[in-house]
Structure 1
Amino acid sequence: MTNDPSPAPDLVVPDQGLVEQLLDQIELKHAVDEDGDLGAPWEHYRIYFLFRGEQEQQTYSVRTFYDRPHPIELKPMLLEAIDDWNRRTLFPKVYTHTDDDGTVRLIGEESMLIGTGVALEHFVNSTVSWIRASMEFDKWLVEHLGLAADLDGDTKPDDER
């Protein structure tokens, strides 16, 4: 085994540009925010595509911020619901975030270690699957919590409504 950090010929070291190309190919609206993070907006959530860490320990994460605010009194019910989701599905793994004002929001996340390279097909398939799963979680949560009035508006990005 050598210590050569260059990827094997059939591997790629994904970056934000590659993700933008993929999002263009699947015709998903996206933008880079003021922090330099690539995101895709929906009405009730935003999906971000993030690269963090040093070269050999670099991770790629798809993180979804579900924007519906929930009162702190519902946190036990939300935790029960997302525990059920997390037990039954591979991704996204969902957790809560409580704002200073007591508002509870949900965040979903999937990650892969990309190090010095990953197979392009694996990267593309994982990213597309993670986007779909993030959308499915929102749909599931709306149905599970009885928020059916929101359901119709969540299946398309903001610009397609």
Structure 2
Amino acid sequence: MREDGRETSRRDFTVSIDPSSIPSFGGQPDPEPTGSNGSVVIPDQDLVKQLLDQMELKYLVDDEGDLAAPWEDFRTYFMFRGEGDQQVFAVRTFYDRPYSVDDKPQLHEVVDDWNQRTLWPKVYTHTHDDGSVRLIGEAQMLIGLGVGLEHFVSSTVSWVRASIEFDKWVVETLGLAKDADTDTDGDDDGPTEV
């Protein structure tokens, strides 16, 4: 409620992001504050774009209208699904490293270990039509009735950081760093394009 007794609408808030909630990616200084942190908002794609800009992360909008932030070995999507009070915001990461169906039992053990030890992202396997297996990580938040801006920002930032950490963890856990070093020793194909 506003001071004049009228209901507060989403348009009544100046949406801003608390810069103290944003990690320093690449050693850049934190952005300057731009407004109130105590707002309740229904997040939308523009808010996520503002957050990604402040995090200095490159992003694009895919053919389905979802935001995606690409890294070398994975892509993180920021998606809004559902309507009304059932609307959900999801951060879903698709890890590009392919595995075979024969690797699936070991992958299940690894992702079960991750899922038991961490809150997010929850990771699962997906088998494609060609028989390759990929890992997908996901975290979700119900946003249809509104969410505290500070909570939304800190959760989204934490989910992005955890997605990056999972990629490092799975490489270390499965010993893939050694494999990559061994593969590149005799490979003169040049740098990998991102």
TM-score by length of 2: 0.73
Q: Secondary structure at the match of 1:70?
A: coil
Matches within 5 A, 1:57-68: 57-68=86-97
Structure 1 equivalent of residue 150 of structure 2: 121
By how many angstroms is 1:6 displaced?
4.7
- Answering whether residue 78 of structure 2 is matched by residue 49 of structure 1, we say yes
By how many angstroms is 1:27 displaced?
0.2
Higher share in strand = 1
TM-score by length of 1: 0.87
Structure 1 equivalent of residue 103 of structure 2: 74
- Answering whether residue 151 of structure 2 is matched by residue 83 of structure 1, we say no
Task: Report the residue type matching 2:57 in the other structure.
Answer: L
Matches within 5 A, 1:4-153: 6=9, 10-149=39-178
C-alpha contact 1:70 1:105 (8 A) present in aligned 2? yes
Q: Secondary structure at the match of 2:72?
A: coil
Higher relative contact order (CA 8 A, sep 6+): 1
Q: Indicate the structure (1 or 2) with the bigger Cα radius of gyration.
A: 2
Aligned length: 151
By how many angstroms is 1:5 displaced?
9.6
Ranges in structure 1 where 5+ consecutive residues have no aligned partner: 152-157
Q: State the distance in 1 between where 2:96 and 2:123 align.
A: 13
Q: State the distance in 2 between where 1:60 and 1:102 align.
A: 30
Q: State the distance in 1 between where 2:102 and 2:130 align.
A: 12
By how many angstroms is 1:102 displaced?
1.0
C-alpha contact 1:40 1:46 (8 A) present in aligned 2? yes
By how many angstroms is 1:116 displaced?
2.2
Task: Report the residue type matching 2:101 in the other structure.
Answer: I
Task: Report the residue type matching 1:125 in the other structure.
Answer: S
Question: What is the percent sequence identity of the aligned residues?
Answer: 65
C-alpha contact 1:55 1:115 (8 A) present in aligned 2? yes
Q: State the distance in 1 between where 2:107 and 2:145 align.
A: 38
1:9-64 CA-partner distances (Å, limit 9, x unpaired): 63011000000000000100001011111000011100000000011110000000
4+ long deviations beyond 2 Å: 4-10
Structure 2 equivalent of residue 155 of structure 1: none
Task: Report the residue type matching 2:96 in the other structure.
Answer: D
Relative to 1, partners in 2 of residues 1:5 and 1:87: Cα closer, same or farther, differing over 3 Å? farther
